[in-house]
Structure 1
Amino acid sequence: MSVSQKHIAHELLSRAHSPDTADQLFTERIKQKPLYLRPTSPTPADNRSRRRLQRLRKKEYFYKKQKPRPLSAREKRVSGIHDIPKEECKYDIFKGLHELWVEYMQEVLDIKDRKAYNYTPVTPASHGSKLVSADYHGAKIEVVRSRCAGRVGVKGIVVRDTKFTFVIVTENDVVKTIPKEHTVFRFTIPTIQHQTNNGNDTTHGLEVASKDLVFELHGSQFENRPVDRANKKFKWKNVDYL
């Protein structure tokens, strides 16, 4: 096509419009009009990649909404999540935990602020279920009976209460694992009775120390985790294995 030959669209516009208007319309509508190109059709490989990407996105979204899987027993052992560092296995460190546990047990048994003239005595029938469902981390226990004679007399503060064992720290900063089966543990809870001068509940009353409460815990009847014991019902059982 020669340079002097005009575009067919320009010739058609010249027939309907003036020369200036035809030049303007040709420049804006035809010469400078963008040309949109349609991409070629995707190949089967592209379709497969697109479907795989959609599956990965759905899977990622599902994992975000899903709760994390709990660790297995093997993974817990490998990670050491329940291991107590040796530098922290000190009897003096856990004394504070024992003091908190004593206050906790006094509240559980309703003996923390009881009055000398009006209180409910602690009996197995009234407080047995509370003792069963209580937490014993921080309790100071002593082995009083056991089929293994070497365990009798061992005492310390409970640092871990598992389903079948008590892990304690002795006064010599030694960590020992005591099985619950065929073992009787003893622990003591100190009590304080408040006595007033005139029998009235005033803030100027006198505190009179009473006899401490001593309990014996039969480990064979106590083989449950602290979490499982919270909703466990208390049942009377005969103990004749020792």
Structure 2
Amino acid sequence: MHIAHNLLARAHSPDTAAQQFTERIKQKPLFLRPTSPDAHDNRSRRRLHRLRKKEYFLRHQRPRPLSAREKRSSGLYDLPKEECKYAIFRGLHAMWVSYMQEILGLNIEGRNVQVTPASHGAKLVSADYHGAEVEVVRSRCSSRVGVKGIVVRDTKFTFDLVTVKDEVKTIPKEHTIFRFTVPLSRMKLPDEARDTKEEDVSADAPRPLVFELHGSQFENRPVDRANKKFKWRNVDYL
């Protein structure tokens, strides 16, 4: 006789002891698992965990950004030659002048603003120069001196300019000094300037502000300049 049946027979009648032994002990399933699974089970469990983690990550991931090679192959930053016209970007330059007058505080009527490096230097270095009309005044490469045009692309190391002859020039920032002007009065759009006669322009108009930009200290992207804190450093004159 089973030891459990023997113990139940001491406390219950023979029929009750036999019934309880059959229902609760003999016919009850026993769920057992090995205390130390083999290496195959551990490997399968780790693989399933990795797959579930990867599925969760892909389900909650944003669209993958394009790589540099994919951007070049898709032509995302290419400038079509038929659209690189100086007349097209004159409107962009007029908008940029209004933008610079706003950040420098020149568009406030009745206010005499004095532009100094201490008060406006941080605003100038963090500004966006897409649409600025710049001229190369100094460079270690003499063939670049005198090149003038509107900035259509500002990268980390170069300026892409559209000249009056509708040519696109790529000028490196390193060892190059650029000059740009900001007029004190509102600049007219190309359509407005076409309707204005030369004799209507006053001879007593205020002189524009002239700035020089040292490209060697300006080697960063426009999006990085917005939040970057610049430090005063010595300037290597060319």
* TM-score range relative to shorter protein: 0.5 to 0.7
Alignment gaps of 5+ in structure 1: 1-54, 194-207
Cα separation, 2, equivalents of 1:186 and 1:130:
17
What are the residue-to-residue correspondences of 1:79-94 with 2, within 5 Å? 79-94=74-89
Tell me the equivalent position of 1:121: 114
- SS across alignment from 1:186: strand
> 2:69 corresponds to which letter in structure 1?
R
What is the identity percentage for the equivalent residue pairs of Structure 1 and Structure 2? 74
Work out whether 1:180 is the aligned partner of 2:173.
yes
SS at match of 1:209: coil
**Other-structure match for 1:216:** 212
Rate the CA distance shift 1:114–1:233 in 2: closer, same or farther, 3 A.
Answer: farther
What's the TM-score, normalizing by structure 1?
Answer: 0.67
1:74 is displaced (CA, Å) by 1.4
Match of 2:107 among 104, 112, 132: 112
Equivalent position of 1:237 in the other structure: 233
User: Deviation of residue 64 (structure 1)?
Assistant: 3.8
1:191 equivalenced with 2:195 (yes/no):
no
Structure 1 position 241, deviation (Å): 4.1
2:140 aligns with 147
TM-score (norm 2): 0.68
Q: Match of 2:70? A: 75
Selected match of 2:164 from 165, 168, 171:
171
Q: CA deviation at 1:63?
A: 2.6
Could you say what secondary structure the match of 1:211 adopts? coil
Q: Which residue of 2 aligns with 1:100?
A: 95
| Distance in 2 between residues matched to 1:84 and 1:56, nearest whole Å | 43
Alignment-derived partner of residue 201 in structure 1: none
CA contact (8 A) 1:159 1:168 kept: yes
> What is the rounded CA distance, in whole Å, between the counterparts of 1:148 and 1:81 in structure 2?
30
Counterparts of 1:127 and 1:234, CA distance in 2: 13
State how far apart, in whole Å, the 1-side matches of 2:154 and 2:109 are.
29
**In structure 1, what is the equivalent of residue 123 of structure 2?**
130
The CA distance in 1 between the partners of 2:126 and 2:89, in whole Å, is: 22
Counterpart pick for 1:161 among 154, 160, 171: 154
